[in-house]
Amino acid sequence: MGDALQRASSAIWNEVERNKVNGIYDPLKAKHKAYVSRQEAKYQGMKIVEDKRLKEFVEISLLAGQSPEGISGRLRYKREKNIPYISKESIYRYIKSPYGRKIEAKLKKEKKRGKKRGNKGTLDGRTFIDKRPKYINERMRVGHAEFDFIVSGKGGKGIVLTATDRKLRVSFFEPIYDVTVPAIHKAMWKIKERYSEWKTGTTDNDILFVRHKELEKELSIRIYFCHPYHSWEKGSIENVNGEIRDDVPKGSDISKYPPTFWKKMEKKLNDRFMECLDFQTPSEALTLCRKQKNLREIRRNKRK
């Protein structure tokens, strides 16, 4: 049949599967079905343009770094009041349309690639990730984080300590411009002050954690180490660092980015709509977690 119609057999199969009705392909019904589908697709493409509130929300969210999937999911779960649902496909069509050209141009950034860091050395007395409890591996509880560094390129100075909660995906950043082991400990303590839930941390084998046993006592946390060259074992913080690299390309000089920049970057990532959180933001998830904890404590005190 493909040869007779001068069409690929796969194209014919797709047409039959897409437009058959009750398991039977009828040419007239298929034509009508295709027509209706096309009309709906055209309407969906214009839905953002025709709704001022929806258009404003989509554009602000895109420019803030939200993904079309995140925006669509956020609206599907009705986490934004009085704004209608729109599919991710419609958002992609809008970006590619004449109305979304400016948005598309701003979203297209060239990403520079830098060199990887050299040998990080070895540490003694590490507890490897194999010993990490199952409930941490399965993201069942709050307070179990992964942490890492964003480093300067060749000739640059400074690093950024990054940490993220495995369950809530809320992240914390601390720039360190004079890189020493005591400075690392101080930055870890600053994060602990803002992230009181912190109980354990998983990281790689950076020599800056040479005094990790001392750090565990200072912060009252347990530190687990990934196996050497197994960065995928701390995938959550790797994803966060990848998001940061959209704005801070590899090879950048960290010392040129002030603390205010990292506060804004932290807020940007913590305000993302995330499917794993039912399209809440990490900030919203952390706030809800703390409210629930406070309510439990109030109830316990009343019983006493």
161, containing H or E segment:
strand 159-165
Which residue would you say has higher pLDDT here, 156 or 12?
A: 156
270 or 100: which carries more pLDDT confidence?
Answer: 270
Question: Looking at the predicted structure, is the pLDDT value of residue 111 above 70?
Answer: no
**Residue 256, token pair as written in the block:** 């040129």
Please give the pLDDT value at position 197: 97
Distance CA 264, CA 127 (A): 34
Sign of the torsion formed by the C-alpha atoms of 244, 191, 159 and 214: negative
| Percent of the residues in the chain that have a pLDDT greater than 90, as a whole number | 63
pLDDT computed for residue 270 by the predictor: 97
- How confident is residue 246, by pLDDT bands cut at 50, 70 and 90? very high
Handedness of CA 46, 47, 51, 56 (dihedral sign): negative
> Do 210 and 240 form a contact (C-beta atoms < 8 A)?
no
Q: Which of the two residues, 118 and 31, has the higher pLDDT score? A: 31
Q: How far apart are the C-alpha atoms of 41 and 294, rounded to whole Å?
A: 48
Judged on CB neighbours under 10 Å (0-12, 13-18, 19+), 128 is middle
Among residues 208, 155, 166, which one has the least CA distance to residue 186?
A: 208
- Is the pLDDT at 35 greater than 80? The verdict is no
What per-residue confidence (pLDDT) applies to 173?
A: 98
Residue 113 has pLDDT above 80, yes or no: no
Output the six-digit token pair for 54.
Answer: 């929806």
> Would you state the pLDDT for residue 259?
97
Paired tokens of 242:
């990848």
Q: Could you report how far apart the first and last alpha carbons of the chain are, in Å?
A: 81
Percentage of residues of the chain with pLDDT beyond 70: 89
